[in-house]
Amino acid sequence: MSSFAGLQLAQRGLGAAQQTLLIAAQNVDNVATPGYTRQRVEQSALAPAAVTRGSLASPVGAGLTVTGISRLGDALLDAGVRTSAAAAGYAEVRATTYGSLEDAYGEPGTTALSGRLSAFWSAWSDLANNPDEPGAGVAVLQAGRDLGASLATARTAVTTQWRDRRADVDALTSQVNAAAGRLAELNRVIGSTTAAGGTANELIDERARLAETLASTAGATAQLQPDGGMTVRLNGTWLVSGTAARVLTVTGPADPASGAPVRVSWQDTPGTPVALTGGELAATLSVLAPADDAGTGGPIAEAAAALDGIAGDLATAVNTAHNAGTTRSGSPAGDFFALDPRRPAAAGLTVVPTDPAALATAARGSGPLDGTAAAGLARVGSGPDSPDRRWATAVAALGAAARSATGQQTITAAAAGAARSSQTSSGSVSLDEENVTLVSAQYAYQAAARVLTTMDETLDILINRTGTVGLR
């Protein structure tokens, strides 16, 4: 071994200790950084230098070398976080949607539709008992207007929710496209960095966060490739492959009146919808689905259909009973409710009579104080197929679906939290551990520095003082 080999040993020790100190400092600095995965210096011992002409074999190794900086993440735990995030994102959107629909219905409550229906039938009952009392007729007219206003308010709230969710589809799609494009770029940068012998751990952390975003947003799955790249797929079809990223586009109406579905398609294959199975985007598309005859369509459209159905049934039933009676003067009574054909039934229900004298109170051929027709109208609300019963059924169905969605949200959120906790415990920074690393690296640095000083002193004696003993 050369006399200067000791200096090289000390220099390598100083370099390794310094690298360890720097990585520990990096970990400590990012202890609160979301998505950061702790790193560790990997080092190995060097074998003795090869024997060359004029040198002697040495049993002493050549010190150590830093072989790399590892990222202490767990691919299996990362995949679990992405899977649970997709399920949690899907469940959260649906639970939030059902909660908003329940708010739109406003049940139970005196100002909700059930309370307005009850007040309407009660007003007709009062009119039946007091057919000659103008105030009772005024109460019927006002109750009818309140009932129409309650239906219109609920219908407007449901329509507004549909439009809000429709805007969410555009926003989520743009988010997916941006994340996919950035992830493809990171694949390129990470590949070139590692090929040049550099470290790309922070870039890998960013890519992992983007993959998680794509999972929670669109239910994407991600897989690491042997070359270090990441492939992202949506229900088996690639979204990101190497340095290429596909683009999603949104098709479908911007207004619920058309009844057409909203879809997300591939830009490079127009008309081919993407079969999304998880994430916020899939859930949003599911709640925007049109209503169907079986009542299994999108919850927003089904809620709107329920309101329109109640309005139509109410108008038909009340008008039929109202036309069967006569006013106090004996004149035939016309329709009580009218529907605006240009608007949804629930949004266009209005009261036709403006004068209490035009209300049907008596049966045909009876006297002016007869209240038979008004009593018959009061009984419309208690029949086996009454609007009240249909509305109660619709409210109960919505409540059951909302409870199911909320329960699913609770389960998926707990699973996502557990997956996140496992990932954090594996890859997050422990300040206690980093403090130990800092102290040990500090002593290693000091020891290497002491070796360097000793070698320097030894060489100084060997070079500058050998042969000078006794010389003045």
Which domain covers residue 46, as residue numbers? 3-72+431-465
Is the omega angle on the peptide bond into residue 341 within 30 degrees of 0, that is, cis?
no
Q: From its phi and psi, is residue 107 left (phi > 0), alpha (psi between -120 and 50) or beta? A: beta
The mean per-residue pLDDT over the stretch 243-251 comes to: 95
Residue 344 lies in a domain: no
CA distances from 342 to 162, 260, 314, 466, 470 (A): 19, 18, 18, 111, 120
Does 452 fall in a domain? yes
Which residue, among 437, 353, 365, 400, has the nearest Cα to 72 in the 3D structure?
Answer: 437
- % pLDDT > 90, the chain: 57
- Higher-pLDDT residue of 109 and 25 is 25
Residue 259, pLDDT score: 81
Give the pLDDT band of residue 2 (cuts 50, 70, 90).
low
Residue 118: count of CB within 10 angstroms of its CB: 15
143 vs 452, residue with greater confidence:
143
Mean pLDDT on 435-451: 90
Q: Residue 141: left (phi > 0), alpha (psi -120 to 50), or beta?
A: alpha
Rounded to a whole number, what is the largest CA-CA distance in the chain?
151
What is residue 454's predicted lDDT score, i.e. its pLDDT? Answer: 86
Residue 58 lies in a domain: yes
- Count of domains for the chain: 1
Is residue 148 assigned to a domain?
Answer: no
Note the pLDDT tens digit of each residue in 162-219. 999 999 999 999 999 999 999 999 999 999 999 998 889 999 999 999 999 999 999 9
Q: What's residue 121's pLDDT? A: 94
d(CA 131, CA 359): 10
Q: Which tokens hold the place of 315?
A: 């108008």
| For residues 113-121, average pLDDT | 93
Instruction: Please tell me whether residue 311 adopts helix, strand or coil conformation.
Output: helix
Position 131 confidence tier, pLDDT thresholds 50, 70, 90: confident
The answer to whether residue 467 scores a pLDDT higher than 80 is: no
Question: Is 14 within the bounds of a domain?
Answer: yes
Q: For 87-106, how does the pLDDT look when each residue is reduced to its tens digit (9 = 90+)?
A: 999 999 999 999 999 999 98
pLDDT tens profile 260-314: 899 999 998 888 889 898 999 999 999 999 988 887 889 999 999 999 999 999 9
3-state secondary structure of 237: strand
- Higher-confidence residue: 109 or 105? 105
Q: What is the length of the chain?
A: 472
CA distances from 236 to 45, 106, 300 (A): 45, 42, 29
**Does residue 156 lie within any of the structural domains?**
no
Residue 170 belongs to some domain of the structure:
no
pLDDT for 57: 56
Nearest to 283 by CA among 257, 264, 306: 264
pLDDT of residue 180: 96
DSSP H or E segment with residue 427 = helix 387-427
